[in-house]
Chain A
């Protein structure tokens, strides 16, 4: 079928305001949305700019707004976006982020928030000669959170992020959960000091947009709720 691919264009060098541009693109229902963008870039307009790499949903490069929802372009198929010839599929950059060009956003702030939560294992005891033990049940507590690919789809779907650029956002706090609930970690106190704040956990209003946006199906709100419980019960 042929689709109307509508893309939000912006190039600050051109002096033009952001605008929509449409392309007619041949497509198969089993093509990924990324394939539509590649078709435009390779065969119609080389100036179209977006990030991509692995093209199967693990590198996290190509989170963007597709038909109004935050998705990974490589992980959504045309058949989920369009039904028939002439249907429109729209692409825009993730909302609430500075746009560098077309679909490429500036993730500087996103990764500053990640670094703010101390996103690493904290354990100053000398490690044992072999691995630290962890039961399969304890591993399961953090397993879902370790699927995170840091694509930003969740943080940029969150109304709290839209309203308050200082809000840590779900991706950073999920990382805080992943380490705080790792039985090998002893940095809970330090990390809770960062996330137990008005710009942290308490600006999560359990709206569940993040869960809906997550391309890896992570139950983010559930884990942030566990982190909230930890924050109110822990003495730190």
Chain B
């Protein structure tokens, strides 16, 4: 079947719903296509807060926020986009509040704000209260409120449709996408003037991750398969405090409320590494420090974890401001944070890189200004790049809502401008490639099951391309990925049915995973310096002379790839050594 809309948004998390809402309010006919029901999107798992210099608790300025974000990015974030994000933050959060997001409140009845890693007053002086929050379920309340608003506005949803292919005209203009309806096994074409990817992150490529099972980087891979590049893929965020072995997130808000990291000597080790902000250093630093402690033999009981000590902050704070993580810790580890420290270790959390866009969320094919007509991306799958080499906590929800909103506004304007022109012509047999892919998978017998290939991919990425990297480990990962690519192309499924065939979708996803995992490993191998979350033991220093630039990764999907580069935009803040 062919569905026809002005705008098709792929993905229904924070970015997708913001884009849908603002495009709809701007008069566009919008469809949201998502492999999950929108409320199951991973935005709902964001816990601790969303950053904006509202100044509700103490003096704050968007420029301080922008400085912290630039410094947090290790100076490879684009400063024009960062300025826009930090300036837009205030009104966007006020609009969210007006939509009904139930934020926690301070005594004055204003949105309550707390401390978070890397956010400071007056250009690095001391931590500042900037993280607006709804207890520790901030993402959950934003996601649900946006979905509620979409219901009000009558946004058209296609729930549980897996998008398989992006459709482009021969002139390189977006024309729609092809999706598989999971319920029925039917393949459909979505014909539109605009396609916007908001498909989220890719944490599932790593063995230990805070990300949902759905976080398989689908949008990034689909864009790559159209011969378009991915940007900043070497920068992968490991959040310092995942529950030991499980990777389930314990928000940085726990340290914002006073939590302390301790090693086996019971030492508050972050004092040694970041004397000013201590446990509230940015995530790249804290994750690296935890591994340094573990390597020095100071992991708890000789194991690969440290303690997050909340016992001194009091049951009031834990039960009122951090109820979810208190429950997670009790449920999954049997540890009551009121009485015992929580065992934690770094967990793969966030993709700084992704589909290159400008600050109106329009996808670019190369250097700035090379916009692909009708193609947008927003949220974690996109790379604006506001996070550079390391994202600050609370800036992901902010990125989603700011650039989701900007995408929505820009798309509505574009639809208005193109009101009288027809939709771009669909290619002949638009569904053919998707059909061939599924028929190929279903036709295979005696292949390996998906789980074996996926586990090997997750293990090589975790072992070789996680917090510390060397030429040797990344070369090993690239060799492994070449073999995994061939194996992924031969996996077979036992479920051959048309109705809700999730095993078939697993087989599709492993194909996506190989494509973007290679982008991560190859880009990381290529960048011969250490910067932010990209920490190379064979190149321990930052090298601004050679590497103050973005890497764009291009692939032929056969294991062949090449790189191009994009300058970093610097407006106000010249690169300096990063100290906290």
- Give chain A's interface residues, CB within 8 Å of chain B: 11-14, 30, 32, 41-43, 45-47, 49-61, 75, 77, 100-101, 104, 107, 114-115, 118-121, 127, 129-136, 138-139, 142-143, 146-150, 175, 178-179, 182, 184-185
Interface residues of B in 104-131 (CB under 8 A from A): 104-112
**CB nearest to B35 among chain A residues:** A53
> B248 at interface (Cβ–Cβ under 8 A)?
yes
A-B contact pairs, 8 of them (CB 8 A): A41-B502, A47-B497, A100-B499, A129-B94, A132-B97, A136-B106, A139-B105, A142-B102
Inter-chain contact A55/B213, CB cutoff 8 Å: yes
Inter-chain contact B331/A54, CB cutoff 8 Å: no
Shortest CB distance B450–A (Å): 8
Which residues of B sit under 8 angstroms from A134, Cβ to Cβ? Answer: 105, 109
Inter-chain contact B102/A182, CB cutoff 8 Å: yes
Inter-chain contact B493/A56, CB cutoff 8 Å: no
**CB nearest to A77 among chain B residues:** B331
Inter-chain contact A120/B109, CB cutoff 8 Å: no
Inter-chain contact B213/A120, CB cutoff 8 Å: no
Inter-chain contact A101/B500, CB cutoff 8 Å: yes
State whether A143 and B135 are in contact (beta carbons under 8 Å apart), knowing that A56-B45, A59-B41, A59-B212 are contacts in the complex. yes
Which residues of A sit under 8 angstroms from B451, Cβ to Cβ? Answer: 42-43
**CB nearest to B96 among chain A residues:** A131
> B422 at interface (Cβ–Cβ under 8 A)?
no
Among A12, A59, A101, A132: residue with most chain B CB under 10 A: A59
Inter-chain contact B102/A59, CB cutoff 8 Å: no
Which residues of A sit under 8 angstroms from B39, Cβ to Cβ? Answer: 59-60, 149-150
Shortest CB distance A47–B (Å): 4
Besides A13-B498, A47-B495, 11 new A-B residue pairs in contact (Cβ under 8 A), listed by A number: A47-B497, A47-B503, A54-B40, A59-B44, A60-B39, A100-B183, A131-B110, A132-B97, A143-B102, A182-B100, A182-B102
Task: Report which of A56, A118, A138 forms a contact with B248, defined as CB distance below 8 A.
Answer: A56
> B573 at interface (Cβ–Cβ under 8 A)?
no
Among B137, B324, B498, B500: residue with most chain A CB under 10 A: B500
| Chain B 318-350: CB-based contact to A (< 8 A → 1; otherwise 0) | 000000100110011110000000000000000
Inter-chain contact A75/B449, CB cutoff 8 Å: no
Inter-chain contact A53/B213, CB cutoff 8 Å: yes
Among B40, B108, B151, B248: residue with most chain A CB under 10 A: B40
Inter-chain contact B148/A119, CB cutoff 8 Å: yes
Shortest CB distance B343–A (Å): 12
Which residues of A sit under 8 angstroms from B449, Cβ to Cβ? Answer: 42-43, 46
> B458 at interface (Cβ–Cβ under 8 A)?
no
| Chain B 213-233: CB-based contact to A (< 8 A → 1; otherwise 0) | 110000000000000000000
> B141 at interface (Cβ–Cβ under 8 A)?
yes
Which residues of B sit under 8 angstroms from A32, Cβ to Cβ? Answer: 332
Which residues of A sit under 8 angstroms from B110, Cβ to Cβ? Answer: 130-131, 133
A172 to B104, CA, bound (A): 23
Inter-chain contact B111/A131, CB cutoff 8 Å: yes
Which residues of A sit under 8 angstroms from B327, Cβ to Cβ? Answer: 57
Inter-chain contact B100/A149, CB cutoff 8 Å: no
Which residues of B sit under 8 angstroms from A133, Cβ to Cβ? Answer: 108-110
Which residues of A sit under 8 angstroms from B333, Cβ to Cβ? Answer: 30
Shortest CB distance A223–B (Å): 14
> B534 at interface (Cβ–Cβ under 8 A)?
no
A147 to B144, CA, bound (A): 10
Inter-chain contact B212/A12, CB cutoff 8 Å: no
Shortest CB distance B427–A (Å): 32
Inter-chain contact A13/B36, CB cutoff 8 Å: no
Which residues of B sit under 8 angstroms from A45, Cβ to Cβ? Answer: 494
State whether A120 and B214 are in contact (beta carbons under 8 Å apart), knowing that A56-B328, A132-B97 are contacts in the complex. no
Inter-chain contact A146/B102, CB cutoff 8 Å: yes
A132 to B144, CA, bound (A): 19
A57 to B151, CA, bound (A): 24
Which residues of B sit under 8 angstroms from A11, Cβ to Cβ? Answer: 497, 499
Inter-chain contact A127/B98, CB cutoff 8 Å: yes
**CB nearest to B214 among chain A residues:** A53
Inter-chain contact B42/A53, CB cutoff 8 Å: yes
Inter-chain contact B503/A46, CB cutoff 8 Å: yes
> B134 at interface (Cβ–Cβ under 8 A)?
yes
Inter-chain contact B152/A41, CB cutoff 8 Å: no
Inter-chain contact B500/A104, CB cutoff 8 Å: yes
Which residues of A sit under 8 angstroms from B332, Cβ to Cβ? Answer: 30, 32, 56, 77
Closest 9 A-B residue pairs measured CB to CB? A121-B100, A133-B109, A42-B451, A46-B494, A120-B148, A46-B503, A47-B495, A131-B97, A127-B98
Shortest CB distance B62–A (Å): 15
Shortest CB distance A148–B (Å): 8
Which residues of B sit under 8 angstroms from A147, Cβ to Cβ? Answer: 137, 140
Task: Report which of A41, A54, A131, A184 forms a contact with B212, defined as CB distance below 8 A.
Answer: A54
Shortest CB distance A34–B (Å): 10
> B149 at interface (Cβ–Cβ under 8 A)?
yes
Interface residues of B in 233-253 (CB under 8 A from A): 248
Among B148, B151, B328: residue with most chain A CB under 10 A: B148
Which residues of B sit under 8 angstroms from A182, Cβ to Cβ? Answer: 100, 102
State whether A119 and B151 are in contact (beta carbons under 8 Å apart), knowing that A42-B451, A46-B449, A127-B98 are contacts in the complex. yes
> B99 at interface (Cβ–Cβ under 8 A)?
yes
Which residues of B sit under 8 angstroms from A59, Cβ to Cβ? Answer: 36, 39-42, 44-45, 212
Inter-chain contact A120/B494, CB cutoff 8 Å: no
> B37 at interface (Cβ–Cβ under 8 A)?
yes
Inter-chain contact B107/A136, CB cutoff 8 Å: yes
Which residues of B sit under 8 angstroms from A30, Cβ to Cβ? Answer: 332-334
Task: Report which of A13, A132, A175 forms a contact with B499, defined as CB distance below 8 A.
Answer: A13
A100 to B184, CA, bound (A): 10
Shortest CB distance B88–A (Å): 15
Inter-chain contact B151/A115, CB cutoff 8 Å: yes
**CB nearest to A14 among chain B residues:** B497
Task: Report which of B37, B105, B212, B498 forms a contact with A55, defined as CB distance below 8 A.
Answer: B212
Task: Report which of B40, B151, B503 forms a contact with A120, defined as CB distance below 8 A.
Answer: B151
A14 to B333, CA, bound (A): 41
Shortest CB distance B16–A (Å): 15
Inter-chain contact B100/A101, CB cutoff 8 Å: no
Among A60, A130, A185: residue with most chain B CB under 10 A: A130
State whether A149 and B151 are in contact (beta carbons under 8 Å apart), knowing that A53-B214, A58-B140 are contacts in the complex. no
Shortest CB distance A28–B (Å): 11
**CB nearest to B504 among chain A residues:** A46
Shortest CB distance A180–B (Å): 12
Task: Report which of B41, B104, B151, B331 forms a contact with A75, defined as CB distance below 8 A.
Answer: B331
A147 to B498, CA, bound (A): 35
Among A12, A57, A142: residue with most chain B CB under 10 A: A57
Among A41, A43, A47, A58: residue with most chain B CB under 10 A: A58
Inter-chain contact A49/B99, CB cutoff 8 Å: no
A133 to B144, CA, bound (A): 21
Inter-chain contact A46/B495, CB cutoff 8 Å: yes
A100 to B41, CA, bound (A): 21
Inter-chain contact B152/A139, CB cutoff 8 Å: no
Shortest CB distance A215–B (Å): 10
**CB nearest to B150 among chain A residues:** A120
**CB nearest to A137 among chain B residues:** B105
Which residues of B sit under 8 angstroms from A41, Cβ to Cβ? Answer: 502-503
A138 to B501, CA, bound (A): 46
Which residues of A sit under 8 angstroms from B499, Cβ to Cβ? Answer: 11-13, 100-101
